[in-house]
Amino acid sequence: MHIGEAMSIDRTRRKLVNAFACTAVSAAMLPCCPGRSALAAAYGLEFKLRKIADGVFAFRGVDELMSAANQGAISNLAVVVGSDAVAVIDSGGSLVEANALIAAIGKMSAKPVRYLINTHMHPDHIFGNAAFREIGATIVGHRNLPRALEARGAFYLQGFREQIGGALMKGIEIIPPTMLVDDRLQLDLGGRVLELQAWKAAHTDNDLTVFDSATRTLFAGDLVFIGSLPTLDGSLLGWLHQMDALAAVGAARVVPGHGPVPADWPQALTAQRRYFEILARDIRKAIADGTPLSDAVKTAGASERGNWQLFDDYNERNATAAFAELEWE
């Protein structure tokens, strides 16, 4: 399924390039061009936006690292349709993906995309922001998101050029939110209200969740990983300490940042909680024993290897961040 989706996006991308070959158009200009409906048709056929509840749709990202082959489409994205307007949760890992999403929404609803909500700073969730700016959406994020993007944006643009290639990077900009969430914020889409909640440092220091009370669907961003190893870029203790509060959200289902969509709630938290507890236990023992960081990270959490996709890509990095944090306990 994942491979099929990735390839189909690739096909639509080639169509896109062909359609505008004579105008040297930048990806950011796409939505204003007359060919948009044709593009929408092309994308809408291929970009699988699945209905998971009344007025709630989700795209399932592949469990891979971002690459040219998967068009950066590795994180789950979601759309909530109200009677007046549409809100989108995360913009994806490229403009190709973001434009495919916008086209798919256009096929489904004529209502304006009023809000793009960024759940956090990582490129697979924000690289498509420019496409949403172009269609006039207000970009919404955690109060810490602008600061985090300020410190990281240049590295993301440089580092991902190597990883996903210059062609897919074309037109990608780091665009911070203009509507910030300090603690909680409600967004009225007409007939349904989204409840946004800013969390303390966990996956990152700018994690935001979205709760659709009409269907009791929780959009957890990367505060929830299922199947694909969680990545730690904020605070292990913060994540563990807030897991109970997260579990207490009265959701019927969750759209995790990575993993199957939708998933049962709060059972979706079980595996990642176990992983973090094992990682913390192993690291704490190493610290108590006086084992240096460089040695400790080679074995910490190793018993979890068989339980996760991308374990070898991220576990040692998680262990490194965890060691530096837990040394201060």
The binding site for another protein (CB under 8 A) comprises 65-66, 122-123, 144, 147-163, 166, 173-174, 176, 201, 204-205, 231, 233-235, 238, 290, 292-294, 297, 316-317, 319-321, 324, 327-328
Question: Is 201 or 226 the residue whose CB approaches another protein more closely?
Answer: 201
Q: How far is the CB of 239 from another protein (least distance, A)?
A: 11
Question: Is 160 or 265 the residue whose CB approaches another protein more closely?
Answer: 160
Q: How far is the CB of 72 from another protein (least distance, A)?
A: 12
Query: Burial of 320 by CB count in 10 Å (0-12 exposed, 13-18 middle, 19+ buried)?
Result: middle
Q: How far is the CB of 129 from another protein (least distance, A)?
A: 12
Given a contact cutoff of 8 angstroms between Cβ atoms, the answer to whether 47 and 9 are in contact is yes
Question: Is 44 or 177 the residue whose CB approaches another protein more closely?
Answer: 177
- How many Å apart are CA 210 and CA 116, to the nearest integer? 12
Max Cα separation, the chain?
66
- How many Å apart are CA 297 and CA 246, to the nearest integer? 28
Question: Is 134 or 212 the residue whose CB approaches another protein more closely?
Answer: 134
Burial track 160-198 (b if 16+ CB lie within 10 A, e otherwise) = beeebeeebbebbebbbbeebbeeebebebeebebebbb
Q: How far is the CB of 173 from another protein (least distance, A)?
A: 8
- How many Å apart are CA 283 and CA 277, to the nearest integer? 10
Q: How far is the CB of 280 from another protein (least distance, A)?
A: 16
Point out which residues pair with 179 in neighbouring strands: 140
Given a contact cutoff of 8 angstroms between Cβ atoms, the answer to whether 165 and 149 are in contact is no
Question: Is 52 or 316 the residue whose CB approaches another protein more closely?
Answer: 316
Contacts of 282 (CB under 8 A, 6+ apart): 296, 299, 300, 301, 302, 319
Question: Is 172 or 224 the residue whose CB approaches another protein more closely?
Answer: 172
Three-state DSSP state, 83: coil
The continuous run of DSSP H or E covering 162 comes out as helix 145-164
CA atoms within 13 A on the CB side of 167: 9
Closest CA to 77 of 110, 104, 54, 41: 104
Q: How far is the CB of 240 from another protein (least distance, A)?
A: 14
Q: How far is the CB of 176 from another protein (least distance, A)?
A: 7
Question: Is 86 or 126 the residue whose CB approaches another protein more closely?
Answer: 126
Question: Is 56 or 174 the residue whose CB approaches another protein more closely?
Answer: 174
Q: How far is the CB of 248 from another protein (least distance, A)?
A: 23
Question: Is 8 or 320 the residue whose CB approaches another protein more closely?
Answer: 320
Contacts of 263 (CB under 8 A, 6+ apart): 224, 226, 253, 254, 255, 256
Contacts of 247 (CB under 8 A, 6+ apart): 266, 269
Q: What token pair was written down for 50? A: 């699945």
Q: How far is the CB of 128 from another protein (least distance, A)?
A: 16
